[in-house]
A and B are shown apart, each in its own frame.
Chain A
Amino acid sequence: MRLKAKHLLQMTALAAAAAALGLGANFLRREPLPLLRALPGAGAGMPAIGEVDADFVEQMRLASGILLVDARSSAAYRLGRLPGALSLPLADFAAAYAALEPQLRQAELLILYCSDRTCGDSPELARRLWHKGLKKLLLFPGGMEEWLGRGHAVEK
């Protein structure tokens, strides 16, 4: 491929020129992007997702068009879940999503949960579903722990 020092020099010059133009143009913009800092208000194109509590879920879970989605592992799901919840474990997202996609797309609202407030699986699941175009989402951040704490029924 005969890339010589001359070519590497030219590539470096190109990169430097692009950096100067890009940063210069940014400097001249009315609202420049921050450098070496996260974008302000970055839900990365995704708006903040509404959050609900156990009592809301209990009231709404039988309404038509509402689906509960369990983001925990399938083992945890088998041990006990919110009544009627579907299993969409993050660890097996691609396959599980492919199987559930028609159901998910038909639903008018998806309520996502995992084990408790510290588990990151349901927010991550929300992010992935959002990027699949499923945007009617709610998070139930209290998850299984809050559900049990409020004494609601568990399906096994």
Chain B
Amino acid sequence: MPWKSSLGRFLSSAWLQAACRLALGGIFLYASLDKIAHPRPFAEIIANYAILPDWLVTLPALILPWLELLAGLLLVAGVWTRSAAALLSLLLLAFILALGVNALRGIDVSCGCFSTSAEITENAGKLILRDLLILLPGVILLLFGKERGEAEIKKAGG
């Protein structure tokens, strides 16, 4: 099927892979900053999701933003690309799950996605859609990305 191979070529093309790295990495890099600066409001937002027990909310509030920052930096730099993309995709899946749970409960929580303002509550459906959209470059990187070593081995093997 020629369309399939040309789609595969498109998805694994160097420029699309680079665009996905920069998009996913950049988004998380940006998202981490406000939360690193303001862990307490972020912890309150996590508490508002009403998923974790109260004694457990400060750990993710302190650690998650740094994870976003580190993985974002690595992606933008093109180092450890697959691991960073896998980590951020896992995070996105967890966020989607958390938003989904509260959408089913009928609670519009403050997202805590890009800012730590608890005043803004948003529609969970829209947020899930946005997260799925952000997940897309992650999936493209994971499924169609080639790490340097692999590309060379493939060439060598003909």
A interface residue numbers (CB < 8 A to B): 1-3, 7, 10-11, 14-15, 17-19, 21-23, 25-26, 29, 31, 33-39, 42, 44-45, 93-94, 97, 128, 131-133
Contacts and interface: CB of A to CB of B under 8 A. Distances in A.
A33 B45 contact: no
A54 B146 CA distance: 70
B34 to A, nearest CB: 14
22 contacts: A2-B82, A2-B150, A3-B142, A7-B82, A10-B80, A14-B67, A14-B70, A14-B80, A14-B87, A15-B67, A17-B70, A19-B66, A22-B66, A23-B62, A25-B36, A25-B66, A31-B40, A35-B58, A39-B44, A44-B44, A44-B48, A131-B109
B107 interface: yes
B47 A44 contact: yes
Nearest to B32: A18
Given A15-B67, A42-B44, A33 B39 contact: yes
Chain B at the A interface: SS class: helix
A14 B84 CA distance: 8
A33 B70 contact: no
A26 B142 CA distance: 33
A10 to B, nearest CB: 4
Nearest to B61: A33
Contacts of A44: 44, 47-48
Contacts of B45: 45
A14 B71 contact: yes
Given A14-B71, A15-B67, A38-B54, A45 B86 contact: no
Interface range on chain B: under 10, 10 to 19, 20 to 34, or 35 or more? 35 or more
Contacts of B65: 22
Most A Cβ at <10 Å: residue of B59, B66, B67, B121: B66
Given A14-B80, A39-B43, A131-B48, 4 more contacts: A15-B63, A22-B62, A23-B62, A38-B54
Nearest to A93: B106
B58 A7 contact: no
Given A1-B142, A33-B43, A94-B106, A7 B86 contact: yes
Nearest to B62: A22
Contact of A34 (B58, B118, B150): B58
A33 B106 contact: no
B3 interface: no
B149 to A, nearest CB: 10
